Amino acid sequence: MTCFSSTDESAHYGFSVCMLLEQYRAQLRWEEEGVLELGTGDATAVADVVRSLPGLRVAGYDISAASVETARANIAARGVADRYTVELGDFFDQSDSAGGPSVSTVIANPPYIPAPDGHIVMPELWGGVRGNDLVLRLLKAGYHNVVTAVASYSDPVETVRTAQDLGYRVANFLAMGLDYGTYSSEPKVRDHIRRLCAEGRGWAGEDEYMVAIALFTRNPDVPGDRADQLLRALQLDV
């Protein structure tokens, strides 16, 4: 098993998480509570965020032993091991065993590759048939604030509508266009993405798509609702 790596996407994710946490520092209360992370990967993006925000503490969980080993090395190399920890295990098992969320903010760049099944080049990146299984599960886990990646070809309309049904607003987001990489370009995946888009469940160009890092919140102290703007930024008609 290898660790997924995408320089452009990781840079976008790290920059966006940093910007959103900084902008809503007071309302999210992460200096007092810390932040949880679903799926650490190689940890480089978030380790840089932790280094940039001296008051930030992150507790991450990943189900891949190889990713955890790599993440811990990268965290140590950046000198933030005292404020960024990674445990091997299922994020949701940890949340359930604790009797529900005690930290109000969680961050995630979850797998979002849509495909008919998980038999793809890198199965760890499979996000379900529509690509948004992990995002929906995270929204249903009960955290007040969820900072997560939302891909334009992974049924973002369902993601946003489900979030609204659960009482979330899209406080803000940062969107970026990305080129298809190795995993999106796999013929099985590419054909499935075309079908989803034809059904109105996403958008993708011939070799490009959009990814937004969005703050979903149920916190009344966080103003605004940019759900429609988010979908338009992802090229969806609303």
Maximum separation of any 2 CA atoms in the chain, in Å: 48
pTM above 0.85, yes or no: yes
Helices 44-52 & 65-77, crossing angle to 10 degrees? 30
Among 114, 117, 120, 124, CA closest to 158: 114
The two tokens of residue 66 are: 């190889």
Model pLDDT for residues 213-238, shown as the tens digit of each residue:
999 999 999 999 999 999 999 999 76
Instruction: Write down all domains in the chain, each with its CATH number in brackets.
Output: 7-233 (3.40.50.150)
Determine how β-strand 145-151 pairs with β-strand 208-217.
Answer: antiparallel
pLDDT of residue 97: 55
| Residue % of the chain over a pLDDT of 70 | 94
Distance CA 229, CA 238 (A): 9
Residues 89 and 59 sit within 8 Å (Cβ to Cβ): no
Model pLDDT for residues 144-161, shown as the tens digit of each residue:
999 999 999 999 999 999
> Is 80 a residue whose pLDDT tops 80?
yes
Among 142, 136, 54, CA closest to 103: 142
Model pLDDT for residues 25-56, shown as the tens digit of each residue:
999 999 999 999 999 999 999 999 999 999 99
33: left (phi over 0), alpha (psi -120 to 50) or beta: alpha
pLDDT of residue 94: 79
Average pLDDT for 175-195: 96
- Specify the amino acid at residue 34: G
For 81, counting Cβ atoms within 10 Å of its Cβ (0-12 exposed, 13-18 middle, 19+ buried), the class is: middle
Question: Given pLDDT bands bounded at 50, 70 and 90, which one contains residue 4?
Answer: very low
